[in-house]
Structure 1
Amino acid sequence: SVNGATRLTIQGDGFAQERQFQLNPVDDMFGNRVTLVSNTLSVPCDVERDSTHSSQIMCYTRPMPYDYYEIHVSVDGVPSMCRYSWFCSFRTVWYRTPTIESLSPVSGPPGTLVTVYGRIFTDVYGSNTDLSSNGINARFLSQAVKKLYRVSALGKLSMFQTFAEVTGVLPSEGSIMGGTLLTVQGRFFDETDQPARVLVGGLPCEVQSVDDDRITCKTAEHQMNKNAAVYPGGRGLKMEVWNNSWPSSLSNIWSYNKNTTGYWSQWIDSMPYVLPREMDYFTTRFTGFFVPPATGNYTIYLNCDDRCDLYLSNSSRPENKVKVAYQPYYVNDYTQLASQKSQVLALEKDKPYYMEILQQEYAGAATINLGLFQGESSYTEDQTDDAVNEVQDIGADYDVFDEEQVVTFDMWPANVAGVKEVQNVTVSSSCSDAVCSSAFFTPIAVSASAAEVETALNSLWSIKPDTVMVTKQQSSEGSHFIVTFNSDRGDFKRLHFEVFGSDTNITVTEVTKGRGNMKTFTLLWGRIPTKPIAFNASKSEVQSALEDLMKAECPGEILTFEGTDVKYFKDFENDTSKEMSVKMKQKTFNIANGGTPVDHSGFCGRWSLKNAEILFKDTTFFTNIHLIFFQLCFAYKGMLKDEVGMRFTYQDSKGTTLTLTTKINTIFNKVVGENVIISATETRKGGLWIRSLTGDFFRVWENKPQV
């Protein structure tokens, strides 16, 4: 059973028995331990100690999902081996799971005899009794199907609802000025869920004391309403029946009374209500009050066998009733005819609204039912079938305009002598070359030669297609790299740098301020410059320079092969079809949330990874790790949370598997479009769709004020 309570008997030898009844053992691993293990889950099986000895262990399973499980046993912390592995397995299946599918009745006072229907194997619950009364060796621990969980007028989930009974009121008369001490007699009065509340003629009666069989309260001043013909009473509805009746119209039922042939009546507490199947050709009238559990919008649904009308008043007065729903012929549920559904009704909490249902039955089964849709709910469809989850479509509308810019040259100077920019980069470090060359690898070692620095600078997009020349000098202050910019552009901003340790210092000073010869100019887009453009360039030359900024090309400083300096690289360019890209995703990430490779132009090349949560995952097992990587480099498009996470799993010297998780705060650029309008369209209204109404939604009608 997936609900647990299945008794397993494990046979073998060498099981613990001497300390089976030791209370609160110091060592939690002592004695026999049984665990059911699947591919994804480990679930303990609770050992029944008084039924366990050296050659047998008895345990009771816990609730667990449908799956195949291996049985693992340890004795005083030492794992035991299964002699025949195919005998040491267990499977949870639906047809071995006790399930409650319906019960009758669904409400009543405490002590009501309830009949439970479903897949029930046994009447033994949590004892050492060997057999059930039907001879089956099983334990009872069932689950109810979700449709049995109903929402009451108090907003609570239940399968069965109990209620108190009022048997009498003393005195039966009192002053309209109030102050009469009233004793309400009955059964099952309590204040377990909330304080007792007494209404006399619809007005609060101040509670003085509460006992199981009586409540005393003091009445309030009461203004007599001489126009009232009926008053709300206790829970439920009054059902009146006329056997052997064939009205041509349901409205003819209003001419029937107690003296009409075939009359009888009965109080009912819940809907749907099913009349005896042997009854045919009769009419019924249900009368009472509907009392909304909360202020809000409601829609009432009607269903019956064979035809029926529903009337509702806007108050407690019957003369104000109007037809709000009707079913002219037999249909099998609420949703077949538009007429079965009322308009949306704005109703007030705890206000009684007079209602009537007129119904006629021809032959066969006879039922009457009301459904109620309430526009608000604190429950979801996972909790009860009465809940309806809200569904909304969210859309974003925005305006797109092509940007237009004009570049104008006014009085452009000619014959200007250019001056090359010269900068001095001074690097000082207290660590040795051997250490620094590996510890501070990315991107340039502090001990680098002039040629290495020159190569690194010449690969920068901000310098290309121009070049630099670098010379190196040593002094007591450190290494001096003299950088000369071979460019007609003239002035350059000072080189930017980053260091990865507190023992290294870098300064950049401008030795010679460059000056352009005015033969070329550059344009910046997103702080990235174009290649130099001749001041008298053609339209196509300017367009080509700007389009170069949008090309999907990887910068040269990004190494495109894995090795000593690069742990992981993926550009998604190996596969050119969507099918292959999915295979690549599974191979690369081996997880469900690794994102989807899609054919969109990315930062580098043609492909990119859409909606990726994990950028890199390595399941390789290392005995010792001495790898240091200082940079994580990736290009992205869209909105990212300002956080990068890392998780590391390892085994300590004791063999215990541990996991460390860290979060690195960072700032990702966020670009939000202008004039964006976000709209939400409700495609399905959420709320409560209560298909079975218990008596606490209704009040019977009486001819005089009631308690």
Structure 2
Amino acid sequence: MSICLLGFGQNLFAFAPTEDNSNQVTITNEFNSYDCPIHTDKVTSTQITCYAPAMPEGTYTVRVKVNGNLIPLHQYINVENADVRSVDWNTPKLTSLEPISAPPGSMVTLKGDFKTLCYTRDQDPCADDAGARISRIYFNGQLCNLINPDTNLVYQNLTTDSLVCKLEGHEVNVYNATVLVSEEYGRSLTSPTIFYITADEQIYNFESYAEIDHVNYQTGSINGGLKLTLTGNHFYSDESVKAEVKIGNEECKLIAYMPNNFFDSVLECQVPVGPGQNRSHFYGGRGLNLVVENVETDFDGLLSYVPSSSAAKYVTNRMSVSLRQADPATVRFTGYFAPLRSGRYDFPIDTDGYAKVCLSLTQDPNDKTVVSSYEPSSADYSKVYLEAGKYYYIESIGSSSLGSFEMKINARFYDTSLVDTVTSNVKNEIQEIEIRSSEKREEFVIF
């Protein structure tokens, strides 16, 4: 938003800006007032540029302070020109993001309503300066570039409802995607249906992760001491954020790393003494094991299902599957659930077939018990108390005789302060309180 007038103060650099050394812009109506952060690089004595914040629909007036002094409305050349409307049809929308997790530097497809198929540096058909453009796409502070720097062309042709961009950063983290559109539009509004919640209650719609490509030894001494070299990508973003390595659930002490080399990352660690217990299951890194087989398993036989050698095997990011095929299907997820917060959890099932979820309160799959079950005629979800920092073996099995099959398992946390206005993954608890009282007259005896 650009505001033109005579006599603006020059915004000067200050470690602690105050009303006396800078301009200030607020957007107000009779109910609310919102700060409009100033873009200091575009401030002159006749123009201020600021970024409008998210605001409810309505009409607002732009008010400006110059060096702490509010410009009165009677000094506006035309006060109606200082009005700005916040409306839904001028709001770009982001409704889909694919994939929802990938290594840094990956290609990401965004879908929604972007109001334009033009973008900054476009030559054709948007060669003139008139009209709205997609000026920037970013994931938190990380840019997502539409243009291939090697060819100076877009990675994929844009439409008003779809675009493809490449992440430029190298950090492993969770992010929220945003599209900025110039002219009368601005920042995109993200659909609540594509927000997810981390175990520590951060809201996000994309996450990145590191990759391990090679480990130099597969065997070593049970007394430890072996120097292990791991190669991969994006083990760290800087020297202050170093990777942690575990072997058999025990820490492998980090002894060397190659800083500032995001691709072909190298870590060296010293293998610990072998754990005292003989185990065949370890919680490992990210992801879940998924088995898909074109057979039907009845509800009572789900727990005894054993995949055949012809079953397809995958590693996936979420306990969710959608199959479109003519044959019946049985799917099984196995992995570990590691809550970051202690509290009450349950595991609801969303499926068009039938399914069960098992959880072990230890890391041993042999200790698993059914905590959730679903069939078209009934559903049963048991709450369990889980401790932060522990790893719990989890397994879900579902089947359907239909040609198509969908199954999704959620981990639902009850001891949260989040509300459903944040994301559709939050459900408010509604309590109905009934108050009753009986009437009893008070009597006074006066002498």
Is TM > 0.5 for Structure 1 vs Structure 2? yes
1:196 counterpart (243, 249, 271):
243
- 1:190 and 1:142 map into 2 onto residues whose CA distance is 30
Structure 1 residue 92 displacement after superposition: 0.8
Alignment identity in percent? 24
CA distance in 2, matches of 1:65, 1:321: 49
**Aligned AA (2:312):** W
Are residue 236 (structure 1) and residue 287 (structure 2) matched?
Answer: yes
Residue aligned with 2:107, SS: coil
Cα distance between partner residues in 1 of 2:27 and 2:317: 46
Change (3 A) 1:219 1:91: same
What stretches of structure 1 of length at least 5 have no aligned partner? 1-6, 331-336, 405-542, 546-707
Aligned match of 1:266: 314
Given that 1:190 and 1:210 are in contact with CA atoms closer than 8 Å, whether structure 2 keeps it comes out as no
| Counterpart contact for 2:343–2:387, Cα < 8 Å | yes
Alignment match, 2:188: 142
Q: CA deviation at 1:256?
A: 4.9
| CA–CA distance in structure 1, aligned partners of residues 65 and 202 of structure 2 | 44
Note the C-alpha offset of 1:172. 1.8
SS in 1 for 2:284: strand
AA in 2 matched with 1:171: Y
- Which amino acid letter does the alignment assign opposite residue 141 of structure 1? R
What does the per-residue CA deviation read over 1:454-507, in whole Å, with 9 as the maximum and x for residues that have no partner? xxxxxxxxxxxxxxxxxxxxxxxxxxxxxxxxxxxxxxxxxxxxxxxxxxxxxx
In the alignment, does 2:296 pair up with 1:246? yes
TM-score, length-normalised on structure 1? Answer: 0.45
Q: CA separation in 1, counterparts of 2:245 and 2:352?
A: 37
Which secondary structure does the structure 1 equivalent of 2:398 belong to?
strand
Q: What amino acid maps onto 1:219 in structure 2?
A: V
The answer to whether the 8 Å contact 1:300/1:372 transfers is: yes
Q: Verify the 8 A CA contact 1:33 1:47 in the aligned structure 2.
A: no
2:371 to 299, 303, 324: 324
Give the direction of change, closer, same or farther, for the CA distance of 1:280–1:116 in structure 2 (3 Å limit). farther
The offset of 1:68, in angstroms, is 1.3
* CA 1:194–1:149: 2 relative to 1, 3 Å: farther
Matched, 1:157 2:203: yes
Provide the residue aligned with 1:222 in structure 2.
274
Output one character per residue of 1:506-553: Cα deviation in whole Å (capped at 9) or x when no partner. Answer: xxxxxxxxxxxxxxxxxxxxxxxxxxxxxxxxxxxxx555xxxxxxxx
CA distance in 1, matches of 2:80, 2:27: 14
Partner residue, 2:145: none
CA offsets per residue over residues 424-455 of structure 1, 9 Å max, x none? xxxxxxxxxxxxxxxxxxxxxxxxxxxxxxxx
| Structure 1 position 234, deviation (Å) | 2.3
How many angstroms does 1:177 deviate by? 1.0
**Quick one: distance in 1 between partners of 2:50 and 2:388?**
51
Alignment correspondent of 2:100: 106
Q: Structure 1 residues 48 and 258 mapped into 2: Cα distance closer, same or farther (>3 Å)?
A: same
Structure with higher Rg: it is: 1
Instruction: Note if contact 2:349-2:372 (Cα within 8 Å) is conserved in structure 1.
Output: yes
Residue 218 of structure 1 aligns with an amino acid whose one-letter code is: Q
Alignment of 1:135-534 (within 5 A): 138=183, 140-190=186-236, 196-211=243-258, 212=262, 213-223=265-275, 225-226=277-278, 228-243=279-294, 245-249=295-299, 251=301, 254=304, 256-260=306-310, 263-271=311-319, 273-278=320-325, 280-329=327-376, 337-339=378-380, 341=381, 343-363=382-402, 365-377=404-416, 379=418, 383=422, 386=425
The answer on 1:67 being equivalent to 2:58 is yes
Give yes or no for contact 2:329–2:405 (8 Å, CA) kept in 1: no
Matched position secondary structure for 1:114:
strand
For residues 319-363 of structure 1, the C-alpha deviation after alignment (integer angstroms, 9 at most, x for no partner) is: 333333222238xxxxxx442x1x232334444333322222344
Amino acid at match of 1:159: N
Check conservation: 1:52, 1:58, Cα contact below 8 A: no
Residues in 2 aligned to 1:222 and 1:79: alpha-carbon distance in whole angstroms: 76
Asked if structure 2 preserves the Cα contact closer than 8 Å seen for 1:48 and 1:58, the reply is yes
Q: Are the counterparts in 2 of residues 147 and 385 from structure 1 also a CA contact under 8 Å?
A: yes
Query: How big is the shift at 1:83?
Result: 6.8
CA distance in 1, matches of 2:339, 2:26: 50
Task: State the Cα distance separating 1:268 from its structure 2 match.
Answer: 0.6
Q: Which whole-Å CA distance do the structure 2 matches of 1:389 and 1:171 have between them?
A: 50
Q: Distance in 1 between matches of 2:23 and 2:250?
A: 64
Number of paired residues? 380
Query: Cα distance, 1:176 vs. partner?
Result: 0.8
- Residue 8 of structure 1 contacts residue 61 of structure 1 at CA under 8 Å; is this kept in 2? no
C-alpha change, 1:381 and 1:60, in structure 2 (3 Å) is closer
Distance 1:293 1:31 in 2: 43
Determine the C-alpha separation between the residues in 2 that align with 1:302 and 1:162.
26
Give the aligned residue type for 1:132: R
Separation (CA, whole Å) in 2 of partners of 1:49 and 1:206: 47
- Give the Cα separation in 1 of the matches to 2:13 and 2:199: 46
Match of 2:143 in 1: none
CA shift for structure 1 position 288: 2.2
RCO higher in structure (CA 8 A, sep ≥6): 1
Measure the CA separation in 2 of the matches of 1:172 and 1:284: 30
Distance in 2 (alpha carbons) for counterparts of 1:174 and 1:154: 36
Conserved? CA contact 1:203–1:220, under 8 Å = yes
Partner of 1:16: 6
1:220-249 deviations in Å (ceiling 9; x for gaps)? 2114544x3433332211111123x23445
The 1:113/1:129 distance shift into structure 2, 3 A limit, reads: farther
Residue 105 of structure 2: SS of its match in structure 1?
Answer: coil
Equivalent residues of 1:247, 1:253 under 8 A apart: no
Residue 110 of structure 1 aligns to a residue whose secondary structure is coil
SS in 1 for 2:410: strand
- Native 8 Å contact 2:298 2:399 kept in 1: no
Question: Are the equivalent residues in 1 in contact too, given 2:25–2:62 (CA < 8 A)?
Answer: yes
Distance 2:307 2:388 in 1: 32
**Cα contact 2:289–2:334 (8 A) shared by 1:** yes
The answer (yes or no) to whether the contact 2:359–2:369 under 8 Å persists in 1 is: yes
CA gap 1:20/1:358 in 2 versus in 1, 3 angstroms: same
Rate the CA distance shift 1:84–1:298 in 2: closer, same or farther, 3 A. closer
Is the 8 Å Cα contact of residues 245 and 253 (structure 2) preserved in structure 1? yes
Unaligned runs of 5+ in 2: 123-127, 135-158, 161-180
What pairs with 1:646-661 in structure 2 (closer than 5 Å)? none
Deviation at 1:209, TM superposition (A): 3.2
Superposition deviation, residue 376 in structure 1: 3.1
Give the CA deviation at 1:71: 5.1
8 Å CA contact 1:258–1:264 kept in 2: the answer is no
